[in-house]
Amino acid sequence: MSTETPEPNVVEPARDAAKSAGPTLADADFSADTREQTVSTSINNYVVKLRSGDLGALPAILGLVVLIALFWALRPETFLSKGNIANLMVQALPVTILAMGLVFILLLGEIDLSAGVASGACAAVMAKLLVDAGQNWVVAVLAAAVTGVVIGAVIGALVAIVRIPSFVVTLALFLGLQGIALKLIGEGGTVPVHDKVIYALANKYMPVWLGWTLALVCALGYAAIQLLRWQRQNAKGLSRRPLALILVQVALVAIALLGGAYVLNLNRARTPLAPFFGGVPWGVPLVAVLLIICTFVLSRTPYGRHVYAVGGNAEAARRAGINVTSIRMSVFMIGSVLAAISGIVAASRLNSVTPDAGAGNTLLYAVGAAVIGGTSLFGGKGKARDAILGGLVISIIDNGLGLLGAKAYANYLITGGFLLLAASIDALARRRRSATGR
């Protein structure tokens, strides 16, 4: 009877040796997904992003700090006064909303030169319905929004389907829409806007208790979103930022919201004996709602991911199954609807609509706001918050120079210089990202 000596099992010792030697290649590939970051690691990663050209909103934030410090030093008694801060907020509303719509268009590397006059044409439609047709504000606002959708659909179809460059299409509509506004209002005419709801957007203020409530709700909501996201990532063992950094970020946002509510809710009456005059302008929560919606659409929906994909590489997006044509059409429609809202807020601020509403420097300021805030002119990079940051920069320049009594040419030169600087930073950062392969 023969006995066979069993062969030694070399598989298990080899597997044990591999485990003791460290992570395998597959483990190493996905180790970052389960790594818990430290504060120092997060800071180092951010420094690496900056060195690779991914500057984000840092230039706009630094610009805001420098401008605020400069005008505060030059006009300490007026620039940061209670009345001027509220005026600055209202002044920034139309440009900020228009810039928010342009962010969607710029993300695809396109341009809309007609956005400013589109806002004026939509406002003219609203004003005519309010005054001549006697419609209520709901019908008039919806008609203005539908007008924006139609304008955006026409631009989108000509750009995405007919394949005419967006520069040419929107330049043609820049002229054509001014003709429509002129036809509706008449040369030299003005349509007053006295509807109480429309007028309140830029000229009335929320009750103090409501302003505090909204600020507190926004702060708590932001904190809940950030902490719940961290908790889900922690429960699934995914890579996550340190909890300490998240708490610092939540605290800074809460300070900004509650501090803003405190300043805006102060009594801005010129004399102590005058009735109370203060509160958060009604247009501010409108911009906040639009910011939340646009941020959610761009960062939390498949549509938003498709916009970034088409802006980064349209051909690659097409091969991945994304409908590039519909994405291109939709961003122009979104941009025109937000232009309509911008025109309504501008009409509220001026209490009227004129044939040249939205013309002049409106578009240039809005494009400048988006680019200064951090949106790339080359597509694929930008966020809705860029419009807020850039809009504040533009408004602070205009407001501060007005307080200094500067000539109009100085305003144009300085604003143009900021836009050129922002575009240069964007181009250099893009070159740096390409060089580092990010």
In the chain, the N- to C-terminal Cα span, in Å, equals: 69
Helix 362-373 and helix 58-74, axial crossing angle in degrees, nearest 10:
120
> What pLDDT, on a 0 to 100 scale, did the predictor assign at position 122?
94
The predicted model gives 64-93 an average pLDDT of 88
User: Does pLDDT of 27 surpass 70?
Assistant: no
> What pLDDT, on a 0 to 100 scale, did the predictor assign at position 405?
84
> What pLDDT, on a 0 to 100 scale, did the predictor assign at position 361?
81
- Residue 57's Cβ-count burial label (10 Å; 0-12, 13-18, 19+) is middle
> What pLDDT, on a 0 to 100 scale, did the predictor assign at position 35?
58
The predicted model gives 325-340 an average pLDDT of 95
Banded pLDDT at 100 (limits 50, 70, 90)? very high
The predicted model gives 9-38 an average pLDDT of 48
More confident call, 398 vs 158? 158
The chain-wide mean pLDDT, for the chain, equals 84
User: Does pLDDT of 371 surpass 50?
Assistant: yes
> What pLDDT, on a 0 to 100 scale, did the predictor assign at position 254?
93
pTM of the predicted model as reported, rounded to 2 decimal places? 0.86
DSSP string, 371-433: HHHT--TTSS---THHHHHHHHHHHHHHHHHHHHT--HHHHHHHHHHHHHHHHHHHHHHHHHH
> What pLDDT, on a 0 to 100 scale, did the predictor assign at position 1?
44
**pLDDT tens profile 261-298:** 998 888 887 777 677 778 889 999 999 999 999 999 99
> What pLDDT, on a 0 to 100 scale, did the predictor assign at position 63?
85
> What pLDDT, on a 0 to 100 scale, did the predictor assign at position 3?
46
The predicted model gives 194-209 an average pLDDT of 90
Report, in angstroms and rounded to the nearest whole number, the Rg of the chain calculated over CA atoms: 26
> What pLDDT, on a 0 to 100 scale, did the predictor assign at position 344?
94
Q: How many residues does the chain have?
A: 438
Number of H helices, E strands in the chain: 19, 2
**pLDDT tens profile 6-20:** 444 544 444 444 444
Structure tokens at 78: 């007026």
Banded pLDDT at 438 (limits 50, 70, 90)? low
- Contact by Cβ (8 Å): 78, 403: yes
The predicted model gives 373-400 an average pLDDT of 88
Cβ neighbors of 345 (< 8 A, separation 6 or more) are: 93, 94, 97, 201, 202, 283, 286
> Strand 191-192 relative to strand 352-353: parallel, antiparallel, unpaired?
antiparallel
More confident call, 12 vs 63? 63
293, 318, 261: which is closest to 89 by C-alpha?
261
User: Does pLDDT of 334 surpass 80?
Assistant: yes
